[in-house]
Amino acid sequence: MKARIRKGDTVEVISGRFEDKGKRGEVTKVLPKQARIVVQNVNIRKKHQQQVETRGRALSAGIIEFEASIAISNVMLVCPVCNEPSRIGILRDGKEVQRVCKKCKAEFD
């Protein structure tokens, strides 16, 4: 499961929070140890920012939006060839690792 999703891949959310289900986005961060990823525009959280003072200037307080990580098991990789969320197989050819879409059988890096 580890190497199947990489930074820059497009994934579709298949389970998890209702409002994110079916959403697609680009993977911006992979956290292999936690088996979690950060996906653009998915799992948006709001953080309230306290008013901070820097060199006598007060920066305005407000709400910061950021993307929180989600479990890798909640997403499916979208195949770059058939554009469908699909299960991915791994093909090893010496040191080269190719990923294979189980739907259209296309190979890609």
With vertex at residue 105, the alpha carbon angle to CA 87 and CA 70, rounded to the nearest 5 degrees, is 20
The distance of closest approach from Cβ of residue 89 to Zn ion in the complex, given in angstroms and rounded to an integer, is 11
Smaller CB separation from Zn ion, 27 or 77? 77
The distance of closest approach from Cβ of residue 82 to Zn ion in the complex, given in angstroms and rounded to an integer, is 3
Residues in binding contact with Zn ion, number by CB under 5 A = 7
Smaller CB separation from Zn ion, 9 or 43? 9
> Taking CB under 5 A as the rule, which mask of x and - marks residues 25-54 in contact with Zn ion?
------------------------------
CA distances from 81 to 46, 66, 76, 88, 91 (A): 35, 30, 14, 12, 17
* Ordered alpha helix ranges (H), the chain: none
Q: Is 3 exposed, middle or buried (0-12, 13-18, 19+ CB in 10 A)?
A: exposed
Smaller CB separation from Zn ion, 43 or 86? 86
Rounded to whole angstroms, how far apart are CA atoms 109 and 107? 7
- For Zn ion, the binding residue among 9, 79, 85, 88 (CB under 5 A) is 79
Rounded to whole angstroms, how far apart are CA atoms 72 and 34? 9
Smaller CB separation from Zn ion, 39 or 78? 78
**Residues binding Zn ion (CB under 5 A):** 79, 81-82, 101, 103-104, 106
